[in-house]
């Protein structure tokens, strides 16, 4: 089970003595390896060539078992690491690739990820059409399998100026030389050398006719290596776990990688989430935890082959570099062996022309709408922070800034958000309970807001700075089509923002047909491939991990796709069950194919309405508080508003299946006023995508939200289309508290104000006051409510706003195509409120930062230096 050659010390004990149970299970897994190989057929030209070059299958498996578990490993020189490697690999070098394919999972994914990063950074050509010099170093590259496999993603002879395979095993290196001689790749050089001693400048100078003097072994480690090197890509494929002196190797790689280079690692691991749950720079913890039994077994089993799985290897890698992307996976072919893929970059600086604090200040300004000017000198970070502390004018700071300062003060990498190619997603702590309460599930797979009505009401311009609740992101994209200066998308649920990130990345990287399949049809058989090879450079690490884990949403043959997921799927499934139970499923299909409103109305009244609005459904299902919350996202305060309006309204015309004055009757009444007008006034199959997707599970080419049109894709896929987007994972109040006063022009809060308790209105009042401070004079707040006259409008009017109802749902009429809310309001800021007193609760918060000053709570609850 050895991996690509690294530096390995000769064992003191010739034959290991594992526990009997471990050896027995090891034999079983070896049997699975053999069975897998016997049934595997070559799937591409690369596999066929490997089978031609390597011995037969039976011989390969026998050599593998003998070399790994039976053969005494001895070396002529006990102090020679190379001798130990040769003792292990010499007899099996020819069968290495054939026997490792089912074991070493994730190599293709790692290569696809780094290839996507390189293409995003460098493209196929450099500036002015000239090809950029791109250098790749594969550390512990063994037989060269990685380099040949990279041809699936990049044209290796043309894309890379030079490729260096560095390995300490002569036998594996000889296999690699034969491989590249057969391929005719003259730009690949195999270097049989200790990875700690490999210096790129030695070989690059030699290729240009300038030979650097070779240093003696004793003098080599005394030489100060440069802070950065010239390698644009460094990869390690299952070699880090086999290098005893991994600290020095990882250290040497920091001076080998160029300032804007990429590093990719795939390897085995075992780790407890408890060990890393308080680290903000690891790029996310999805799937990282391995239970105690598995940790103990896999460490013992891999120790048979001197493969070290202690967590320190991965920890030190993440400490020395910045994390761009990471994923924790399982090899389910062979007993769910844990392995990880990690993509990283230099810890600092971000580029050859920017210092870390400059990037931090820039991102901070983008997150807070701060006019703060970037420092113009190149002094060290500490002096810059001291000057910032000493500034007399207070600056509002984002949480991203706070996290960055904490990390810099401890010499840690910055949070992975800072290393992304796009700074759409703002840093958040994914371990906070307010985020984990959602249990990694979004509520809404599509947005219940009519983008057409919003567009007509707001008429956004290029100078507008918009704040809006993310939901499923559909509304954010419709605002982006109007090209405002900035959009701040806010949601407390991280996965709602993951969904928006996926849509934005898909605009950026995918052709329209792929985009349509994912979000129009809700399914794409090649979603995983697109995610890894095209979307990954445009996603934050947490969003990438989430969609990698949940790829089955789009690829499962048995699943119904994206729009049968999330919390709202419960309402859709309940309707589907009702239609089956009442025998009207065929009527639903007829409704979706109705050519006229008259035909649609008749199908609704005669076949579907009697089932959906029946007494049993109303009493047992829809009126349930648990159903209303989990399936429809209706909290108890909003439900109380519906009941209050119902108690004050006149009797409903028509049959009433529930007793008046009850909750069931109030909900039934609300449903009637919602659904009947939708069927009467809007053509669902042609022009109402919100109900079409509920009934059909997908959109159609003629009925879909505006963001799914070819025109929208052409507009939003242009370079820089989302430069003004900021995605915040937090409460509305927290975000607006950290935005510079008087910078917002529009805030769209949907129905979120309905969630506040009218009997204790302090929270609503506080948020309204902060909205007032963040908005310019004349700025607008667009909101919807389940009540005709919501109580909090008076709070707006008492805190510097004038309220105007711009939509009023009356029986028989639609307020919009969704018609889910009773009223729609625009509250316009007419006056500035005086600042709150300094002793206001939660406004005096202090935090010490790296010993150079304090972070004080300013008069709006924001952090500042």
Per-domain boundaries in the chain:
99-212+220-346, 356-414, 564-696
* pLDDT higher at 101 or 790: 790
Burial label, 455 (beta-carbon count in 10 A; 0-12, 13-18, 19+): middle
Q: What's the pLDDT score for residue 761?
A: 81
Entry field: residues in the chain: 865
Task: Return d(Cα 768, Cα 749) in angstroms, integer.
Answer: 11
Distance CA 134, CA 121 (A): 11
DSSP string over 499-568:
HHHHHHHHHHH--HHHHHIIIIIS--TTHHHHIIIIIGGGS-HHHHHHHHHTTHHHH-SSS--GGG-STT
Q: Look at residue 636 in the predicted model and tell me its pLDDT.
A: 80
Which has more pLDDT, 810 or 57? 810
SS3 (DSSP) at 653: coil
Q: Is 62 within 8 Å of 31 (Cβ atoms)?
A: no
Gap between the Cα atoms of 359 and 763, Å rounded? 35
* Number of Cβ within a 10 Å radius of residue 188: 25
Distances (CA, A) of 668 to 513, 656, 661: 41, 8, 11
For residue 838, count CB atoms less than 10 angstroms from its CB and return exposed for 0-12, middle for 13-18, buried for 19 or more. Answer: exposed
Structure token pair of residue 94: 């020819």
d(CA 350, CA 357): 10
Q: Token pair for residue 756?
A: 């506040």
Tokens of 87: 């003792």
Statement: residue 161 has pLDDT above 90: yes
Using pLDDT thresholds of 50, 70 and 90, give the confidence band for residue 479.
very high
Strand stretches in 570-715, DSSP E = none
Tell me the chain's radius of gyration from C-alpha atoms.
31
Mean pLDDT along residues 713-732: 95
Residue of 361 and 375 predicted with greater confidence: 361
At residue 453, does pLDDT exceed 90?
Answer: yes
Structure tokens at 652: 């409903």
Gap between the Cα atoms of 291 and 312, Å rounded: 17
- Is the pLDDT at 736 greater than 60, yes or no? yes
- Is pLDDT above 90 for 639? no
Please, which residues bridge with residue 803 across strands?
A: 827
- Residue 130 — left, alpha, or beta (φ > 0 → left; ψ -120 to 50 → alpha)? beta
Instruction: Give the other-Cβ count within 10 Å of 654's Cβ.
Output: 9
| Residue 831 CB partners (closer than 8 Å, separation 6+) | 777, 800
Split at pLDDT 50, 70, 90, the class of 370 is low
Q: What average pLDDT does the structure give for the chain?
A: 80
Amino acid 130: pLDDT: 57
Taking residues 433-445, what's their average pLDDT? 93
**Cα dist from 40 to 36, 46, 53, 611, whole Å:** 6, 14, 17, 53
Q: φ and ψ at 624, to 5 degrees?
A: -70, 125
How is residue 840 written in tokens?
A: 């206001």
Q: Are 309 and 269 in contact (CB under 8 A)?
A: yes
CA separation for the pair 829, 704 (Å, rounded): 34
Instruction: Give the span between the Cα atoms of 301 and 291, in whole angstroms.
Output: 15
DSSP assignment letter at 322? E
SS3 168: coil
More confident residue, 301 or 666: 301
Read off the pLDDT of each residue in 848-855 and give the average, rounded to a whole number: 32
pLDDT band at 661 (very low <50, low <70, confident <90, very high): low
Please name the residue that has the structure tokens 């994912």: 518
Q: Say how many CA atoms lie within 13 Å of 527 toward its Cβ.
A: 26
Percent share of the chain, pLDDT over 70: 72
* Assigned fold of 99-212+220-346: Rossmann fold (3.40.50)
Collect all residues with Cβ–Cβ distance below 8 Å to 93 and sequence separation of at least 6.
Answer: 143, 169, 171, 172, 174, 175
Q: What percent of the chain has pLDDT over 90?
A: 55
Residue 478 reports pLDDT greater than 90: yes
- Token pair listed for 464: 């507008």
Asked if residue 300 lies in contact with residue 229, where contact means CB atoms within 8 angstroms, the answer is no
pLDDT digits (tens, 9 = 90+) for 245-300: 899 999 999 999 999 999 999 999 999 988 888 899 999 989 999 999 999 999 98
pLDDT tops 50 at residue 565: yes
Is-contact 474 451, C-beta < 8 A? yes
- Residue 333's contacts (CB-CB under 8 Å, 6 or more residues apart) are 32, 36, 102, 105
Locus of tokens 């078992």: 65
Q: What are phi and psi of 57, to 5 degrees?
A: -65, -50
For residue 51, name the pLDDT band (cuts at 50, 70, 90): very low
**8 A C-beta contact, residue 24 and residue 87:** no
Give whole-number Cα distances, 163 to 139, 158, 597, 616, in Å: 11, 11, 66, 70
Mean per-residue pLDDT for 54-78? 50
Cα gap 173→93, rounded to integer Å: 9
pTM of the model: 0.84
116-125, 326-335, 360-369, 780-789, range with the lowest pLDDT: 360-369
- pLDDT, residue 605, reads 93
H helices of 68-169, in order, are 81-89, 96-100, 107-122, 145-149, 156-159
pLDDT at 841: 40
- Beta strands 257-268 and 337-346, pairing class: antiparallel
Regarding beta strands 135-139 and 162-167, do their DSSP bridges make them parallel or antiparallel, or are they unpaired? parallel
Other CB atoms closer than 10 Å to residue 177's CB: what's the count? 16
Q: Which residues pair with 863 in a beta bridge?
A: 397, 857
| Predicted pLDDT at 618 | 66
Q: Which residue has the higher pLDDT, 408 or 148?
A: 148
What pLDDT, in 10s, does the model give residues 181-198? 999 999 999 999 988 889
pLDDT for residue 769 is more than 50: yes
Question: Higher model confidence: residue 837 or residue 187?
Answer: 187
Instruction: Please determine, for residue 13, whether its predicted confidence score (pLDDT) is greater than 70.
Output: no
- Between helices 170-183 and 81-89, what is the axis angle to 10°? 60
Name the 3-class secondary structure at 857.
strand
Instruction: Give the integer Cα–Cα distance in Å for 169 and 521.
Output: 51
Cβ neighbours around 194 below 10 Å, total: 20
Backbone angles phi, psi at 64, to 5 degrees: -60, -50
Q: How many angstroms separate the CA atoms of 342 and 834, rounded?
A: 50
Element of type H or E holding 489: strand 486-490
């Amino acid at each position: 089970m050895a991996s690509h050659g690294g530096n390995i010390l000769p064992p003191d004990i010739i034959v290991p003595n594992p526990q009997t149970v471990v050896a027995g299970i090891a034999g079983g897994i070896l049997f699975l390896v053999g069975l897998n190989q016997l049934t595997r057929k070559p799937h591409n030209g690369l596999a066929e060539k490997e089978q031609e070059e390597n011995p037969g299958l039976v011989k390969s498996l026998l050599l593998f078992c003998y070399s790994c578990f039976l053969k005494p490993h001895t070396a002529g020189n006990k102090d020679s690491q190379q001798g130990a490697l040769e003792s292990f690999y010499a007899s099996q070098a020819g069968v290495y690739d054939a026997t490792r394919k089912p074991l070493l999972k994730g190599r293709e994914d790692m290569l696809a990820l780094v290839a996507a990063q390189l293409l995003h950074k460098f493209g196929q050509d450099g500036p002015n059409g000239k090809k950029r010099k791109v250098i790749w170093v594969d550390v512990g590259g063994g037989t060269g399998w990685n380099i040949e496999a990279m041809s699936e993603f990049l044209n290796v002879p043309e894309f890379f100026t030079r490729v260096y395979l560095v390995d300490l095993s002569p036998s594996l290196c000889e296999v690699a030389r034969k491989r590249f001689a057969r391929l005719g790749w003259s730009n690949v050089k195999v270097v049989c050398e200790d990875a700690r001693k490999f210096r790129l400048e030695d070989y690059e100078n030699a290729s240009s006719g300038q030979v650097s003097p070779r240093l003696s072994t004793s003098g080599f480690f005394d030489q100060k290596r440069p802070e950065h090197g010239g390698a644009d890509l460094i990869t390690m494929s299952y070699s880090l776990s086999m290098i005893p002196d991994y600290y020095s190797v990882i250290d040497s790689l920091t001076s080998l990688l160029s300032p804007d280079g990429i590093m990719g690692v795939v390897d085995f691991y075992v780790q407890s989430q408890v060990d890393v749950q308080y680290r903000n720079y690891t790029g996310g913890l999805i799937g990282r935890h391995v239970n105690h039994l598995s940790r103990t077994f896999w460490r013992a089993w891999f120790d048979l082959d001197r493969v070290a799985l202690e967590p320190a290897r991965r920890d030190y890698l993440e400490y020395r570099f910045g994390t761009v992307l990471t994923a924790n996976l399982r090899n389910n072919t062979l007993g769910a062996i844990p392995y990880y893929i990690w993509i990283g970059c230099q810890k600092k600086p971000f580029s050859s022309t920017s210092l870390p604090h400059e990037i931090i200040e820039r991102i901070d300004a983008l997150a807070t709408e701060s006019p703060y000017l970037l420092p113009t000198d190149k002094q060290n970070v500490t002096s810059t922070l001291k000057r910032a502390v000493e500034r007399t004018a207070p600056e509002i700071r984002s949480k991203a800034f706070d996290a960055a300062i904490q990390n810099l003060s401890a010499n840690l990498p910055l949070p992975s958000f800072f290393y992304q190619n796009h700074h759409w997603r703002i840093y958040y702590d994914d371990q906070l309970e307010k985020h984990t309460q959602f249990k990694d599930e979004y509520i809404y797979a599509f947005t219940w807001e009519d983008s057409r009505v919003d567009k007509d009401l707001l008429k956004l311009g290029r100078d507008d700075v918009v704040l809006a609740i993310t939901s499923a992101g559909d509304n954010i994209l419709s605002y982006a089509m109007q090209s405002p200066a900035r959009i701040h998308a806010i949601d407390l649920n991280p996965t709602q923002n993951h969904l928006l990130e996926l849509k934005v990345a898909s605009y950026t990287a995918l052709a329209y047909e792929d985009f349509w399949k994912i979000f129009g049809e809700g399914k794409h058989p090649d979603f995983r491939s697109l995610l890894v090879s095209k979307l990954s450079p445009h996603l934050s690490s947490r969003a990438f991990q989430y969609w990698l884990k949940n790829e089955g949403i789009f690829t499962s043959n048995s699943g119904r796709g994206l729009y049968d997921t999330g919390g709202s799927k419960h309402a859709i499934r309940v309707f589907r069950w009702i239609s089956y139970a009442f025998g009207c499923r065929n009527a639903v299909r007829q409704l979706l194919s109705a050519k006229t409103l008259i035909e649609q109305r008749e199908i609704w009244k005669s076949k579907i309405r009697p089932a959906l609005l029946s007494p049993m459904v109303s009493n047992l299902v829809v009126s349930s508080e648990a159903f209303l919350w989990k399936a429809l996202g209706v909290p108890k305060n909003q439900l109380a508003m519906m009941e209050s309006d119902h108690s004050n309204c006149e009797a409903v015309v028509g049959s009433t299946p529930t007793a008046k004055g009850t909750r069931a009757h109030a909900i039934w009444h609300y449903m009637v006023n919602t659904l009947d007008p939708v069927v009467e006034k809007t053509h669902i199959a042609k022009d109402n995508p919100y109900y079409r997707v509920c009934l059909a599970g997908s959109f159609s080419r003629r009925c879909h939200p505006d963001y799914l049109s070819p025109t929208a894709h052409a507009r939003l896929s242009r370079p820089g289309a989302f430069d003004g987007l900021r995605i915040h994972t937090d409460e509305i109040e927290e975000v607006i508290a950290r935005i510079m006063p008087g910078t917002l022009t529009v805030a769209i809060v949907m129905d979120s104000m309905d969630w506040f308790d009218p009997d204790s209105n302090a929270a609503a009042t506080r948020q309204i006051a902060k909205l007032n401070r963040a908005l310019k004079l004349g700025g607008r707040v667009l909101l919807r409510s389940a009540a005709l006259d919501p109580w909090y409008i008076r709070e707006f009017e008492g805190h510097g706003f004038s309220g105007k109802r711009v939509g009023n749902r009356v029986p028989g009429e639609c307020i919009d195509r969704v018609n889910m809310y009773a009223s729609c309001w625009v509250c316009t800021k007419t006056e500035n409120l005086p600042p709150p007193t300094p002793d206001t609760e939660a406004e005096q918060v202090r935090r010490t930062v790296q010993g150079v000053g304090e972070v004080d709570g300013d008069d709006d609850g924001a952090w500042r230096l």
